Amino acid sequence: MIEIESVTKVYQMGETEVRALNGVDVHIGQGEMTAIMGPSGSGKSTLLAIIGCLDVPTSGGYRLDGENVESMSDDELADIRSRKIGFVFQQFNLLPRATALENVTMPLTYAGVSGKERRARAEEALRKVGLSDRMHHRPNELSGGQQQRVAIARALVNDPAILLADEPTGALDSKTGTEIIRLFQTLHRDYGQTVIYVTHDPFIARHTQRIIRLADGQVISDDRVAEPLEAGAPRPSELALSGSLVVL
């Protein structure tokens, strides 16, 4: 259960202060699949980073499963990230010289999992994303979609309750993007994973149950999606996309 309350985030950019988030309230329940949308600079990535404990709010409160995250030390945050959160980046962020299996194993070494169990769990995570036959390939030997799936396997390997993704399809073509979204839907449906991703593409966002829109650091809308699209559905016109939302 994610409870964000009147969170602000201020960056100091030289002389000027940039207010990336300006009083955001968001609650996201266990097992929800949510998209965060907004134009660039709206603060959507900052919000996701705070949810993922990669960053801390300047003010406001963040409770994760009842724990106050905003007052935690750096190491306590690392522990939360290790146990509860899997993060997928737009640019994959794989270690270039490590194999897929080594990349996926990395979080387990920091989680204190024993050597034998690690390999089994990393292999299992790679199987989940359909890469059992690519375990010993390095990132440069994999396609963009395969690299993103390795990154998802890495995010999944610690069995986190929450899977976060920042523009997961942003660096991929639409067909590969669809495969990644299908994978998220499967994880959400079959394993009850909480999935939150940031996107600027309304079509990608429509594959979730809920769309939160940000602008200028504030939530401007929070809508249920009446009929989430199935991955592989044809891309409708932009007009149809914006009209098919049901305001709660």
Partner 1 sequence: MNITENFRIALRALAANKLRSALTMLGIIIGVASVVALMAIGAGATAGITAQVQGIGSNLIIVMPGRLQQGPNRGGMQPAALYYSDYEALAKTLKDVNGVAPSYETQATVVFETRTRSAGVIGITTKYAELRHYDIEQGRFPTPAEQQSGARVAVVGVNVVRDLFGGLNPLGRTIKLNGVPFTVIGVLEEQGSGGFGSADDYVMVPLETGYDKLFGASAVEGGKRKVSNIVISVKDETAVDSVMAQIERTLRRQHKLAPGDEADFLVLSQTQLLDTLSQITAILTAFLGAIAAISLLVGGIGIMNIMLVSVTERTKEIGLRKAVGAKRGAILLQFLVETLVLSLLGGLLGIALGVGIAAAVTATGVITASVTAPSVALAFGFAAAVGVLFGLYPAWRAAQLRPIEALRYE
Question: Are 178 and 229 contacting, i.e. CB atoms less than 8 angstroms apart?
Answer: no
The reply on whether position 109 binds partner 1 by CB under 8 A is yes
Stretch that binds partner 1, among 97-105, 121-129, 187-195, 218-226 (CB under 8 A): 97-105
- Report how many residues bind partner 1 under the rule CB under 8 A: 28
Reported in sequence order, the residue ranges of 50-193 that DSSP labels E, i.e. its strands, are: 59-64, 67-68, 85-88, 162-166
Choose, by CB under 8 A, the member of 3, 5, 55, 216 that binds partner 1: 55
Choose, by CB under 8 A, the member of 83, 127, 189, 224 that binds partner 1: 83
**Alpha-carbon gap, residue 111 to 125, rounded angstroms:** 15
The reply on whether position 136 binds partner 1 by CB under 8 A is no
Q: 224 pairs with which residues across the strands?
A: 210, 246
The reply on whether position 87 binds partner 1 by CB under 8 A is yes
The reply on whether position 78 binds partner 1 by CB under 8 A is yes
Q: How many CB atoms lie within 10 A of CB 209?
A: 17
The reply on whether position 242 binds partner 1 by CB under 8 A is no
The reply on whether position 74 binds partner 1 by CB under 8 A is yes
**Alpha-carbon gap, residue 78 to 91, rounded angstroms:** 21
Helix (H, G, I), strand (E, B) or coil at 68: strand
Output the smallest distance, CB 171 to partner 1, in A: 15
The reply on whether position 158 binds partner 1 by CB under 8 A is yes
Give the containing element (helix H, strand E) for 218. Answer: strand 218-224
Q: Which residues have a Cβ under 8 Å from the Cβ of 225 and sit 6 or more positions away?
A: 206, 208, 209, 210, 211, 245, 246
Stretch that binds partner 1, among 18-26, 76-84, 187-195, 213-221 (CB under 8 A): 76-84
Choose, by CB under 8 A, the member of 10, 56, 171, 241 that binds partner 1: 56
The reply on whether position 18 binds partner 1 by CB under 8 A is no
Output the smallest distance, CB 157 to partner 1, in A: 9
Nearest to 156 by CA among 90, 105, 80, 93: 105
Classify residue 124 by its DSSP letter. Answer: H
Task: State the residues that interact with partner 1 by CB under 8 A.
Answer: 49, 52, 54-56, 74-75, 78-79, 81-83, 87, 89, 93, 95, 97-98, 102, 106-107, 109-112, 115, 154, 158
